[in-house]
């Protein structure tokens, strides 16, 4: 599958399985994910969004005049800051819909890189937000789940309308 899945696809609500070994298949999948993410265009993509229930995410953001671009295998958040920030979020699986979402400002996280090495990092700003958003995907959670049921239903109905009108 190379197409980005759109809500309410049930795969988006399933929990992804850890990557046991970073083989050529996983590296090929991650490169495919980067291409799909960049073509969309998006700043983050989780494997479930293309129908693969594997704990792999890719990010490609600009922050502090730097391009931050990497793949995370089995990412895990170790700690969250108490300070929270509200920022607008969108999602390739919920096209053309945006909402203000509150998330921790900073995170400490770990992941495996392509070589299978454990990397521990701290992230703030957009990088922190994108990683939290994409890890939510790995757990079957979407950004609209942070909204009231009223706001969530409005956004999801708009997606269905876009589908019916052939705009997606």
| pLDDT tens per residue, range 57-107 | 999 998 888 888 999 999 999 999 999 999 999 999 999 999 999 999 999
Q: Is there a catalytic annotation at residue 134?
A: yes
In the sheet that holds 118-124, the strands lie side by side as 44-46, 56-63, 66-80, 106-112, 118-124
pTM of the predicted structure, to 2 decimals: 0.95
Q: What is the pLDDT of residue 22?
A: 96
Which of 23-27, 62-66, 86-90, 110-114 is predicted with the least confidence, judged by mean pLDDT? Answer: 62-66
pLDDT at residue 41 is higher than 60 = yes
Q: What is the pLDDT of residue 1?
A: 39
Active-site position among 26, 89, 127, 134: 134
Q: Which CATH architecture has domain 10-164?
A: Alpha-Beta Complex (3.90)
Q: Which two tokens stand for residue 57?
A: 């995410």
**What average pLDDT is seen over the chain?**
95
């Amino acid at each position: 599958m190379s197409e980005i899945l759109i809500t309410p696809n049930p795969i988006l609500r399933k929990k992804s399985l850890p990557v046991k070994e970073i083989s050529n298949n996983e590296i090929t999948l991650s490169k495919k994910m980067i291409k799909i993410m960049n073509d969309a265009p998006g700043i983050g993509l989780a494997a479930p969004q293309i129908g693969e229930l594997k704990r792999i995410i890719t990010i490609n953001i600009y922050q502090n005049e730097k391009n931050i671009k990497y793949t995370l295998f089995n990412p895990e958040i170790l700690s969250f800051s108490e300070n929270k920030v509200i920022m607008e979020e969108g999602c390739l699986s919920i096209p053309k819909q945006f909402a203000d979402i509150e998330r921790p400002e900073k995170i400490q996280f770990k992941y495996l890189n392509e070589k299978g090495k454990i990397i521990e990092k701290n992230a703030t700003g957009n990088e922190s937000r994108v990683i939290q958003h994409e890890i939510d995907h790995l757990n079957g959670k979407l950004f609209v789940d942070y909204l009231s049921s009223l706001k969530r239903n409005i956004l999801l109905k708009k997606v269905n309308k876009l589908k019916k009108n052939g705009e997606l």
